Structure 1
Amino acid sequence: MRLLKLVPDDTNIGFLRWRNIAVGLSVVMILASIALVVIRGLNFGVDFAGGLMMEVRFEQEARLDELRSTVNSAGAGSASIQTFGDANTVSIRLPLPPGDEAAVQRVVAQVQDTIRAKSPDASFRRTETVSGKVSGELVNAGAVAILFAMIGISIYIWFRFEWQFGVGALFALLHDVALTMGFFAVTQIEFDLNIVAAILTIVGYSLNDTIVVYDRVRENLRKYRKMGMAELLDLSLNETLPRTIVTSLTMIIALATLVFFGGSVLFGFSITMLLGIIIGTYSSIFIAAPILIWLGVGPQSFLAQSASAETRLNPKSRSERPGA
């Protein structure tokens, strides 16, 4: 019985021929994502924004305008209301009332009674409260976690390979995080601590994929010292392509299942991971690899000392790609 191969052994795709278009498009998308985050902002959940959040489900499709008027009539402050997962479930966010826990519970009970009076079919799934001080600390901690993860990863790759590889990995990670943040700015999906965890997971996955490619590039630099850099990168990408496709496809199938059947609680995390896997796979192929050419990586720079030593010992020795 023959084994199923998603990528044939003789695959030879010229990825590097599209490097200028791919990197140019990525730069535009990064700038657009940053602009969207600045202009539109993120729909911070209670974890980051602070305040009172209530998740309510109705038997019929929720009418947001009527519900907003109903909640505002309760006198608990201006409400921010949006659908959550499906048209029958809504998320209601209110400013945190002054006072102790008893004051918060009074506001919760008042809002719930007001909604039930208009919509007896309403069911309240959960209620969360976060103070402004705690939310501010969480925002800072989340940003610092993502930033230091990216910097630490780049330093690791720098010491494992060369500084050019660290720069390439950092740019690829910046690409992945920026596009993910831009997605949240466009869709206004609630951004909470679960999303920060998903982004950190994306950083780790993208790094793993990039290191696999970089490791094969390093091996091929030792084997094919007369090969052009673009050709060598294409060879390395095609050699690692089966692993990339199988790993990414497996993750995509699992995450797509969670997106459609995992429910509203897992939706934000699942859609972030799904998008991140796709973006991370793209960046490992079209961003992390081509940037090495512009940073001047080649056999003469990466293995200059070892190559010189081998040449002195055996001037006639050379490693060339078979059939080249």
Structure 2
Amino acid sequence: MSEQKVINFMGQRKLAAVFSLLLVIASIGALAVKGLNFGLDFTGGTLIEMHYPQTANLTDIRNDLREQGYPGAVVANFGTDRDVVIRIQSDEAEVGGKIAEELKDGYVGEGEAELKRVEYVGGQVGAEFANDGGLGMLFALIVVMAYVGIRFQFKFSVGAVVALAHDVLIVLGCFAIFQFDFDLTVLAAVLAVIGYSLNDTIVVSDRIRENFRKIRKSEPIEIVNISLTQTLGRTLITSLTTLLVLLALFLVGGELIHNFALSLIMGVVVGTYSSIYVAANVLLALNISNEDLMSVEKEGEDQETLMP
């Protein structure tokens, strides 16, 4: 059986580092200059759910809302083609009922349109959502660093957190650059990106640690290349199958989860790249060596001797 050809990933590590640094700087700059285009969940506003006796014409509803002075209203089907959810930025709690009555009066089909619910989110509540979301992401990164530090070694935890922060910043930067709506579903997707990217990074880190224990005479850069080559197939298969599902959600999932799927697609692509070039690059920059893993090696050997 022929040996697997080792891909020299780290041969381009300096170029990858510059590329990642440029992306992160651009993302931070976009966040500082443009900021995120927060949705109703964060800015406050009104959500209206209507039920129509026939298939709802979303274009007509948008035109009606535009005539009422709400050109930025988000209109989408909710469950069936007869149920419609409308999101409107407004500081008045009573505006939802007024809009619903005008939509009911403007409906010209058979039967009568029905108002199912009206929900209002105040600006203060939206600000609390934004603060809680930011704290949630920060807490997730701290927990990840602690877990990887205990599970592997401190240098691995630094590499993992740098890779995760890299992924989150780039996804947020894309939303800031293109001014896509950032709501609670996108925040949930960003947190999911942290979990996805961490899973990939853990697999690569585990293989790097294992190869440091097995291949003692090779240089760290060679060991990292061998480890990345061995995990490449698993990484690509996982990413491609995940992307297929996300593309289906993006294309046919409807407007409500459009940005959710988009942010996850960005996260999977960037996370796959970072698990190869960012986390491993940081390890080499921190001069990872066999000496760093000696305690882990002894622990593994003791466990093996205890096994029947």
Tell which deviates more after alignment, 207-216 or 293-302.
Answer: 293-302
SS at match of 1:81: coil
Aligned length: 284
Say if 1:44 and 1:191, in contact at 8 Å, map to a contact too: yes
| CA distance in 2 between partners of 1:71 and 1:39 (Å) | 32
In the alignment, structure 1 residue 255 sits paired with structure 2 residue 246: yes
Report the aligned-residue RMSD. Answer: 3.3
1:244 is matched with which residue: 235, 260, 270? 235
CA deviation string 1:83-109 (max 9, x = no partner): 6689xx9965332216xxxx3444434
Say if 1:206 and 1:284, in contact at 8 Å, map to a contact too: yes
In the alignment, structure 1 residue 18 sits paired with structure 2 residue 12: yes
User: Aligned residue for 1:162?
Assistant: 153
Say if 2:47 and 2:96, in contact at 8 Å, map to a contact too: no
What letter is aligned with 1:95? S
Change (3 A) 1:109 1:96: same
| CA distance in 2 between partners of 1:208 and 1:50 (Å) | 35
| CA distance in 1 between partners of 2:116 and 2:276 (Å) | 43
Aligned 1:1-324 pairs, distance under 5 A? 10-53=4-47, 58=57, 60=59, 68=66, 70-72=67-69, 79=70, 81=72, 93-97=88-92, 103-109=94-100, 112=103, 116=106, 128-303=119-294
Say if 2:76 and 2:254, in contact at 8 Å, map to a contact too: yes
| CA distance in 2 between partners of 1:235 and 1:131 (Å) | 54
| CA distance in 1 between partners of 2:88 and 2:199 (Å) | 38
SS at match of 2:4: coil
Report percent identity of matched pairs.
37
| CA distance in 1 between partners of 2:101 and 2:141 (Å) | 45
CA deviation string 1:106-126 (max 9, x = no partner): 443466479x49x99xx9998
| CA distance in 2 between partners of 1:126 and 1:283 (Å) | 43
SS at match of 1:303: helix
| CA distance in 2 between partners of 1:37 and 1:125 (Å) | 37
Offset, 1:148: 0.3
What letter is aligned with 1:96? D
Offset, 1:221: 0.7
Change (3 A) 1:227 1:55: farther
| CA distance in 2 between partners of 1:259 and 1:37 (Å) | 24
Tell which deviates more after alignment, 268-277 or 285-294.
Answer: 268-277
Change (3 A) 1:92 1:306: closer
What letter is aligned with 1:16? M
Offset, 1:10: 2.0
State the TM-score, normalized to the length of structure 1.
0.77
| CA distance in 1 between partners of 2:260 and 2:31 (Å) | 19
What letter is aligned with 1:97? E
Say if 2:76 and 2:86, in contact at 8 Å, map to a contact too: no
Offset, 1:174: 0.5
Say if 1:217 and 1:236, in contact at 8 Å, map to a contact too: yes
Say if 2:48 and 2:96, in contact at 8 Å, map to a contact too: no
Offset, 1:80: 6.0
| CA distance in 1 between partners of 2:11 and 2:250 (Å) | 34
Say if 1:80 and 1:93, in contact at 8 Å, map to a contact too: no
| CA distance in 2 between partners of 1:113 and 1:9 (Å) | 71
Say if 2:65 and 2:73, in contact at 8 Å, map to a contact too: no
Say if 1:40 and 1:185, in contact at 8 Å, map to a contact too: yes
Q: Which runs of 5+ in 1 are unaligned?
A: 1-7, 73-78, 311-324
